[in-house]
């Protein structure tokens, strides 16, 4: 790559593909986001496929907006946060961010969350373990135990079947069917938490939905309203449009109607019991 020219990496998760063009700091060729480090960070999610969106990303110093990210507009769209901002008009995106990996990750999270809604999906704060051909969701806010569970079970084999970790932090949930006949699928994302195992762009049909709690390993039923409220708290959505929020909520309600949620208490022990719970898939026709 010649000095002053952007480096490019195309990142994918499920149906979403974004080409991020990392520009050097203006008037300082060779300075800015480290392309090699970014490639290592998103390794396993890089693709040569045609992107839906091309994002021209330019580093700067300072602050761009409010502390909390928010997406506004109805096309073109704009997102502003404390350390990054972007504008999206069709397939073209222009963004500004501080030249460090954390802010690149934050910018991409908001952009992927925005595109997820327009791909009949949502992003959730959840770990996901694939076992027996199904991806089970373990939903919870920070500190609920998502990473601990992923670290304990991911990569292990039980009864000749391997547990694969799709994510320990954020997952993409999509409806590949119709509103009348939904078919939900869970996709890994490049946005992981503390569990830095080699990650790939994997996916599997949705199995069970568990809301995490602390305590001795057991499963307890949840009233529909309680499950809805707890799942909604874990929705990753930066939109301010009531229409977008409503469509995201409808997708979650449809998922809960077909895959009733339960509360899973776990104290970090008895991993085999968690695997047995995953075997007992519950799906409402």
What average pLDDT does this structure show over 168-186? 96
β partners of residue 175: 184
Position 281 scores a pLDDT of 61
Position 25 scores a pLDDT of 67
Do the Cβ atoms of 87 and 94 come closer than 8 Å? yes
Cα(243)–Cα(225) distance, integer angstroms: 21
Position 30 scores a pLDDT of 47
Query: Burial code of 134-168, b = ≥16 C-beta within 10 A, e = fewer?
Result: bbbbbbbeeebbbbbbbbbbbeeebeeeebbbbbb
What average pLDDT does this structure show over 148-166? 86
Alpha carbon dihedral 219, 220, 223, 226, in 10-degree steps, equals -70
Tell me where in the chain the CATH 3.90.228.20 domain(s) lie. Answer: 122-279
> Backbone phi, then psi, for 190, in 5-degree steps?
-80, 10
Cα(104)–Cα(182) distance, integer angstroms: 34
Position 78 scores a pLDDT of 94
Q: Compute the C-alpha angle 221/223/227, nearest 5°.
A: 90
β partners of residue 161: 158
Q: 178: buried, middle or exposed (CB in 10 Å: 19+, 13-18, 0-12)? A: exposed
What average pLDDT does this structure show over 153-160? 84
pLDDT digits (tens, 9 = 90+) for 24-72: 865 554 456 788 889 998 999 999 999 999 999 998 766 555 567 889 8
pLDDT digits (tens, 9 = 90+) for 235-261: 999 998 999 999 999 999 999 999 999
Is pLDDT of 3 > 60?
no
Cα(226)–Cα(212) distance, integer angstroms: 13
Which structure tokens are listed for 84? 């990054």
CATH, range 122-279: 3.90.228.20
Position 182 scores a pLDDT of 96
Cα(139)–Cα(128) distance, integer angstroms: 8
Cα(250)–Cα(253) distance, integer angstroms: 5
DSSP H helices in 236-284: 242-258, 271-279
């Amino acid at each position: 790559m010649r000095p002053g020219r952007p480096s490019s990496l195309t990142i994918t998760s499920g149906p979403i593909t974004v080409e991020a063009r990392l520009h050097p700091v203006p008037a300082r060729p060779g300075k800015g986001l480290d392309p090699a480090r970014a490639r290592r960070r998103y390794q396993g999610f890089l693709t040569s496929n045609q992107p839906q969106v091309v994002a021209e990303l330019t580093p700067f110093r300072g602050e761009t907006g409010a502390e909390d990210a928010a997406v506004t507009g109805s096309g073109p769209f704009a997102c502003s946060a404390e350390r990054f901002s972007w504008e999206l008009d069709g397939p073209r995106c222009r963004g500004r961010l501080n030249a460090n990996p954390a802010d690149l990750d934050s910018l991409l999270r908001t952009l992927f969350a925005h595109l997820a809604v327009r791909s009949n999906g949502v992003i959730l704060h959840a770990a996901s373990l694939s076992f027996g051909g199904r991806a089970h969701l373990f939903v919870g806010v920070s500190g609920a135990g998502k990473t601990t569970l992923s670290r304990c079970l991911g990569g292990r084999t039980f009864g000749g079947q391997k547990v694969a970790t799709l994510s320990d932090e954020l997952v993409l949930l999509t409806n590949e069917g119709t509103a009348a006949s939904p078919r939900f699928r869970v996709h890994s994302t490049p946005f992981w938490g503390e569990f830095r195992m080699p990650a790939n762009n994997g996916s599997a049909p949705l199995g069970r939905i568990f809301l995490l709690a602390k305590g001795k390993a057991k499963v307890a039923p949840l009233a529909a309203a309680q499950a809805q409220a707890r799942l909604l708290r874990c929705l990753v959505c930066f939109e301010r449009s009531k229409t977008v929020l409503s469509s995201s909520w409808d997708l979650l309600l449809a998922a809960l109607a077909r895959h009733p949620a339960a509360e899973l208490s776990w104290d970090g022990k008895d991993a085999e019991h968690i695997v047995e719970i995953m075997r007992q898939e519950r799906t409402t026709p």
